[in-house]
Chains A and B, each alone.
Chain A
Amino acid sequence: MLEVDLKLRELDRARWRMALALTSGMVLTYFGFIAMVAFGRSVLAIQVMPGLSLGILLGALVIVASWVLTWVYVRWANSVYDPAVRALLASRR
């Protein structure tokens, strides 16, 4: 197998590892929230401050977590993945 292809395979593994780790993070966050809704009603009813129940706070945090996870991916892709792809393309020429 060519060295380029070996490097490509390595890059492929790294991307899928990152993608699957972040997907699992999203799955755990959202289904954790749903599990709380289903089984932790009394906990979610606790008001952190008057009006702001834990349920509303966690719901908003699910949205914030989605933002954070996408940001982590974009950062990784821009700073690690893209340079590696560019290096591979350069070595092929």
Chain B
Amino acid sequence: MIQEPAGTAIGQPNAIAMAFFFGFISITLGITWWAAKRTRTTEHFYAAGRTVTAGQNGFALAGDYMSAASFLGIAGLVSTTGFDGLIYSTGWLVGWPVVLFLIAEPLRNLGRYTFADVVAMRLRQTPVRIAAAVGTLATVTLYLIAQMVGAGGLIRLMFGFSYEHAIVLVGIVMIGYVLFGGMIATTWVQIVKAVLLMTGALLLALLVLLRFDWSPAKLFAAAAQQYGSGVLAPGRLVSNPLDAISLGMALMFGTAGLPHILMRFYTVPDAQTARRSVFIATGLIGLFYLLTFILGFGAMVLVGPETIKSVDPGGNMAAPLLAELLGGTPFLGFIAAVAFATILAVVAGLTLSGAAALSHDLWVSVFRKGRAEPGEQLRVARLATLALGVVTVALGITFKGQNVAFMVSLAFAIAASANFPALLLAIFWRRYTTAGAVTSMAVGTIATLLLIYLSPTIQVDILGEQSAWFPLKNPALVTLPLSFAAGMLVSWLAPEPEAAMGFTRLERQTHLGLESE
């Protein structure tokens, strides 16, 4: 098969991309203006007044979760490595059933705005809230840095803006959504983004399959014919099985500890709606990752790994290049705008959950001991949004040019080892205590950060050492069981009778909701 020449409009500001891009911004700012008029209380600001439907929340969850890294990164990885990239496609989905089975419904019935509400419910507020806020902020900050640095690079590649301009633009628009429109605007931005992303990926996959008689197998066969049958089987990426298992644990249990995902369950009216919304989200996200099989191999066969790497060594431009080849500059413009919308929506969701930890968990619950006026709560929430937004932009600029790809898997590792064990034990285990909860969250966070620092990711790839003390790239295999063990051991050694007594009420509320009160 003859490859098309490498001439591409990527990196030059093209009119169609700009039109889509400003179209998206005007529509979402219109939504924000509409949402701002409806955001009068903290319940509106954090939880969209709890009126979001299952379908809406399903799309919004998918929108919150599917980042530009998964759209551009996995398509790029598959197009340059073949099967190895698919290991990630499957890994990113398997956390969702776990969220449904273990977390979604109890969380909805037990909490109000943050997952700390649930952990702290029958325990002593102050220490638990502080530990949970640290876990939340660590997860959110690492995730935000990875998204912002990725965003700056991608927008520079696609639109030709400077890196700093791109970061500031993303920051301003994102702060606009969250500050004025709160969760109502954030939810609708996620929905618009999820619809755009699914549409873009579906169209692209259909255009690929059109060239292969609608048969994915023919597409894979063409890839094997051009690049050897090795691209259809495991290659060098998974050289250490323990590494793969450790990353798998972080992805599987980390999803159930991501603050911006957990927060979404408070936007629906009841546990049944929460359940249906995860079902819909799992369907959408699964479909999306199945499509990445087609997009990745499509880009490999039609564009070619060499061309893809010549535009961006990381392979991130595989999907945009494929779009340009199949649908010309207009389709490239559409896909570029979709990628941008994807970034904006994810950072908005992250910022809102970080602001909730700062204002609801730290300011209102710890500093004001729960005695803040409603008006003050809303003011502090907005102030926290603004502060976090500015910090995000500053971090994005600080980390320019750094290798931050590992930060997403680090965020998942902390979510899996700090937030998830505390949350699960709090709703599952009668004898869990305040000291146990604080220990499991602290051990999870500190051990994860320490082991990442000692891992080959930092020591070899970034600091350039010959070897690393800790052999795994992702520490979840060690830190997740460690956090469970530490939390349980401390709870066993020093029982807390009041916490155990509160469990009966928790149990009732888990199943019967607030109606039982």
Find residues 55-93 in chain A having any chain B CB closer than 8 Å to their own CB. Answer: 55-56, 59-60, 62-64, 66-67, 69-71, 73-74, 77-78, 82, 85, 88-89, 92
For B283, give the chain A residue with the smallest CB separation. Answer: A67
Partner of A51, one of B221, B515, B516: B221
Are B233 and A45 touching (Cβ within 8 A)? Answer: yes
Partner of A63, one of B90, B428, B507, B511: B90
Are B87 and A37 touching (Cβ within 8 A)? Answer: yes
Give CA–CA (A64, B440) in the complex, Å. 34
Q: Taking A30-B252, A34-B244 as contacts, is the C-beta distance between A12 and B234 under 8 angstroms?
A: no
What sequence of 0s and 1s flags, for each residue 257-294 of chain B, a beta carbon within 8 Å of any chain A beta carbon?
A: 00000000000000010011011001100100110010
Are A26 and B97 touching (Cβ within 8 A)? Answer: yes
For A53, give the chain B residue with the smallest CB separation. Answer: B232
Pick the interface stretch among B98-106, B141-149, B326-334: B98-106
B251 CB to nearest chain A CB (Å): 9
Are A11 and B234 touching (Cβ within 8 A)? Answer: no
For B232, give the chain A residue with the smallest CB separation. Answer: A53
Give CA–CA (A69, B96) in the complex, Å. 10
For A54, give the chain B residue with the smallest CB separation. Answer: B233
For A21, give the chain B residue with the smallest CB separation. Answer: B101
A10 CB to nearest chain B CB (Å): 11
Partner of A70, one of B217, B230, B278: B278
Are A51 and B219 touching (Cβ within 8 A)? Answer: yes
Are A74 and B276 touching (Cβ within 8 A)? Answer: yes
Residues of B within 8 A of A49 (CB): 217
Are B248 and A51 touching (Cβ within 8 A)? Answer: no
Which of A69, A70, A74, A88 neighbours the largest number of chain B CB atoms within 10 Å of its CB?
A70
Which of A39, A50, A64, A66 neighbours the largest number of chain B CB atoms within 10 Å of its CB?
A66
Find residues 1-33 in chain A having any chain B CB closer than 8 Å to their own CB. Answer: 5, 8-9, 11-12, 15-16, 18-20, 22-23, 26-27, 29-31, 33
B246 CB to nearest chain A CB (Å): 10
Q: Taking A51-B220, A53-B233 as contacts, is the C-beta distance between A38 and B511 under 8 angstroms?
A: no
Are B516 and A56 touching (Cβ within 8 A)? Answer: no
For B276, give the chain A residue with the smallest CB separation. Answer: A74
Give CA–CA (A11, B512) in the complex, Å. 11
Q: What class of interface size applies to chain B in its complex with A?
A: 35 or more
Are A74 and B233 touching (Cβ within 8 A)? Answer: no
Are B244 and A27 touching (Cβ within 8 A)? Answer: no
Find residues 466-517 in chain B having any chain A CB closer than 8 Å to their own CB. Answer: 504, 507-508, 510-512, 515-516
B279 CB to nearest chain A CB (Å): 5
B78 CB to nearest chain A CB (Å): 10
Partner of A45, one of B232, B241, B289, B511: B232
A69 CB to nearest chain B CB (Å): 5
Are A51 and B217 touching (Cβ within 8 A)? Answer: yes
Residues of B within 8 A of A74 (CB): 100, 275-276, 279
For A36, give the chain B residue with the smallest CB separation. Answer: B234
Give CA–CA (A73, B87) in the complex, Å. 25
Are B217 and A66 touching (Cβ within 8 A)? Answer: no
What sequence of 0s and 1s flags, for each residue 192-233 of chain B, a beta carbon within 8 Å of any chain A beta carbon?
A: 000000000000000000000000111111111000011011
Whether B386 is near chain A, meaning CB under 8 Å from some CB there, is no
Whether B111 is near chain A, meaning CB under 8 Å from some CB there, is no
For A50, give the chain B residue with the smallest CB separation. Answer: B221
Residues of A within 8 A of B91 (CB): 30
Residues of B within 8 A of A70 (CB): 96-97, 100, 278-279, 282
For A92, give the chain B residue with the smallest CB separation. Answer: B516
Give CA–CA (A63, B241) in the complex, Å. 21
Are A8 and B252 touching (Cβ within 8 A)? Answer: no
Are B508 and A8 touching (Cβ within 8 A)? Answer: yes
Are B232 and A73 touching (Cβ within 8 A)? Answer: no
Are B241 and A66 touching (Cβ within 8 A)? Answer: no
Beyond the given A53-B233, A77-B275, A78-B272, could you list 7 further A-B residue pairs with CB under 8 A, ordered by the A residue number? A8-B512, A26-B98, A44-B234, A62-B90, A62-B94, A71-B279, A88-B511
Q: List 26 A-B contacts (CB under 8 A).
A: A8-B507, A11-B511, A23-B97, A23-B98, A26-B94, A26-B97, A35-B241, A38-B241, A44-B83, A45-B229, A45-B234, A49-B217, A50-B217, A55-B234, A59-B89, A62-B93, A66-B93, A66-B282, A67-B282, A69-B97, A70-B97, A70-B278, A74-B279, A77-B105, A77-B275, A88-B511
